[in-house]
Amino acid sequence: MPLASLPAAAQMFEVKLTWTSEAGTKAIAGWAVRETGQNHGPVDVPAGQKVERIVHWQPARDVPVQNHDLAVTLPGNRGCRATLELKMTYGAAGATVGNPFSCAIVSQSYDRVTCGFSAVGSWTNSYPISGACDVTIGFAAY
């Protein structure tokens, strides 16, 4: 949805994922939104390089949480997985209070690869972008 078409009161968050490979081989990153089934991958991550992707999330009072299933797969069925949770907390009558936005890695697993996941959220309460979630995913094969 283009930002110009959003209603004036809409809150939009930028979600930026950065994959950094320290592996000696190319990896494939998968990224899907659990609630909608929308797939943002596959993303090719060349050996020893960094790749970034940005999407936008518009929370709704009736759907204040969104989960992103993240995966990195290397040759030999090695890889790691994580769940990124985006959450908007609403007060009475749908109003936001304080810093209502959060993003966090809520689960992660590894299989014969070293991965590091982090997520940092920020709240600017401006229009059209009300905040951001910066996610970094670093990985190396062993």
Tell me the pLDDT tens digit for each residue of 3-34.
Answer: 444 344 567 899 999 999 998 889 999 999 99
Measured CA to CA, the distance from residue 36 to residue 59 in angstroms comes to 13
pLDDT at residue 1 in the model: 39
Q: Residues 26-70: pLDDT tens digits?
A: 999 999 999 888 998 899 999 999 999 999 988 877 778 999 999
Q: What is the pTM of this model?
A: 0.84
Check whether 116 has a pLDDT greater than 80: yes
Measured CA to CA, the distance from residue 135 to residue 98 in angstroms comes to 22
Measured CA to CA, the distance from residue 137 to residue 51 in angstroms comes to 10
Measured CA to CA, the distance from residue 70 to residue 31 in angstroms comes to 5
Give the pair of three-digit tokens for residue 52: 């970034």
Q: Running DSSP on this structure, what letter comes out for residue 25?
A: S
Strand order across the 129-141 sheet: 50-57, 12-21, 129-141, 113-123
pLDDT-based confidence at residue 82 (cuts at 50, 70, 90)? very high
Check whether 95 has a pLDDT greater than 80: no
